A and B are shown apart, each in its own frame.
Chain A
Amino acid sequence: EAGVTQSPTHLIKTRGQQATLRCSPISGHTSVYWYQQALGLGLQFLLWYDEGEERNRGNFPPRFSGRQFPNYSSELNVNALELEDSALYLCASSLGGSSSYNEQFFGPGTRLTVL
């Protein structure tokens, strides 16, 4: 069974540009989560999508946005990139419903570098 996949593996952008990151969940999972793992800041929750709807959002500005498609894959968009957006972005998927107890399966991440 294929795990969570993310693309691209690495992404290099300049300040002010937009970045689009993609995630495909494990087959049968309807929930997708996005996390930012920045140096020195730990792993922070960004967004949770379930059945195409945004269910919860972390403490990030509106320029971080995303969506979930009918096939449950997801995109994370970061507009007006800033240097501090440089981080590893992790996607996870789980069975649907409350995120509090469903095991989340993580992808390998996308390394975003903003120059």
Chain B
Amino acid sequence: AQSVTQLGSHVSVSEGALVLLRCNYSSSVPPYLFWYVQYPNQGLQLLLKYTTGATLVKGINGFEAEFKKSETSFHLTKPSAHMSDAAEYFCVGGANSKLTFGKGITLSVRP
């Protein structure tokens, strides 16, 4: 069965610092993987998605993620954090017509 693991529940970085949010998946079939973001008091918004093809996926707002099959990982990165990036981030796996959400990571950005 598909499962998605997000390590930790909270990450805090300084403005301008690298953002790294980790996600590992387990699946018996090739997965579809997504990162969604939920800003305070708003619905979820798709950041990026991996289906097939290029393993480095670029998303909105300067975020990108790399699909590494050997490590079963799909970590989300951004070179330089902005205050507006403060939100909750969900790694999501899709397989066999079902989506599985990770528990989410809250990103805080310090001035």
Contacts and interface: CB of A to CB of B under 8 A. Distances in A.
Contact of A42 (B36, B96, B103): B103
Nearest to A103: B46
Chain B binding surface SS class: strand
Chain A binding surface SS class: strand
A101 B98 CA distance: 9
B94 A43 contact: no
Contacts, number: 54
User: Which bracket fits the contact residues of B?
Assistant: 20 to 34
A45 interface: yes
A113 B14 CA distance: 36
Interface stretch (B17-25, B37-45, B63-71): B37-45
B45 A106 contact: yes
Interface of B: 32, 34, 36, 42-46, 49, 51, 90, 94-104
Interface of A: 4, 33, 35, 42-45, 48, 55-56, 90, 92, 98-101, 103-109
